[in-house]
Amino acid sequence: MNMIEIKENKVTAKLKHIITICDCTSEKAKKMSRLISEGASELIEEYHKLFTVKVHEFTNKVPDVYLEAIAENEVTAPGSLPATSELRTTYIAVGTGTATPVAGDTQLETEVFRNNVNSQIRNGKISQSTLFITNSEGNGSTLSEVGAFCGAASAAADSGTLASHALLSPTVVKTNAKTVTIQINKTYSDA
C-alpha cells in the first residue's frame, strides 16, 4: 500500500500598525486634509512629507476570530462564503481601551471612532490598508487602541470581524490641530 505523507505548511502573517500624526493648523494642511477626506487618497504621502510631527509603529494581536475566518475561506465553496468570513479589511477603528489585546478579542475594548479605509494596496506578499482621520474627526479622545475589521463590518461600532488589535503606546490625544493616519501592513510568509 502506498502512503502519502502531507507535512503541515505554516503560513504566518506579521502585522504592523503605523500611526502618523500630522500638524493640521496651517491653511494648506487643512485644505489637503479636506481633499483627502473627500477621496483624494493619493495625496496622503505628500501630506505626510509636509506635515508629519511623529510616526509610531506598533505590533498587534491577530484574534482567533480572524484566524477562524481564514480557515473557513480555505474550505468553503466559491460563492458560498458567509459575509462574516470575508477577509478584506473594510473598516479601521480606534478606541480608548487599555487592556492588552488577547487571542479571544472580538472587538476593541472601548471603540470611539471608525471609518472605511481610504486606500488599500498589495505589493507581493504585503497588503496595506490605510485610514486617514481628518482634523475634524475623532476629536476629544486619548486614542490608545486600534483595530482592523473585515467580514460584515459597517459604520456601526463593534461590527464585523476583528482582524487585528493593537495598543498604542504612547497614546495619541486627538484634537482639531491633528490628523492621524493609521496604516496596517500585513506581511505573509511561509514559515
Q: Where are the domains of the chain?
A: 12-190
Predicted pLDDT of residue 138: 92
Predicted pLDDT of residue 150: 93
**Separation CA 126–CA 13 (nearest Å):** 9
Hey, how many other C-beta atoms are within 10 angstroms of the C-beta on 100? 11
- CB-based burial of residue 141 (10 Å sphere; 0-12 exposed, 13-18 middle, 19+ buried)? middle
Predicted pLDDT of residue 46: 92
- Residue 62 confidence class, pLDDT cut points 50, 70, 90: confident
Higher pLDDT, 184 or 5: 184
- Residue 3 confidence class, pLDDT cut points 50, 70, 90: low
* Total-model pTM: 0.87
pLDDT at 10 over 70: no
Predicted pLDDT of residue 2: 54
Which of 13-22, 43-52, 147-156 has the lowest average pLDDT?
A: 13-22
pLDDT tens, position by position, 67-99: 888 888 888 877 787 777 788 999 999 999 999
- Mean per-residue pLDDT, 11-28: 84
Tell me the chain's radius of gyration from C-alpha atoms: 18
pLDDT tens, position by position, 134-146: 999 999 999 999 9
CA dihedral 120, 59, 91, 176 (to 10 degrees): -100
Predicted pLDDT of residue 173: 94
- Mean per-residue pLDDT, 44-66: 89
Predicted pLDDT of residue 4: 57
- In the chain, the percentage of residues whose pLDDT exceeds 90 is 60
Higher pLDDT, 10 or 47: 47
Residues 6+ apart with CB under 8 A from 126: 185, 186, 187, 188
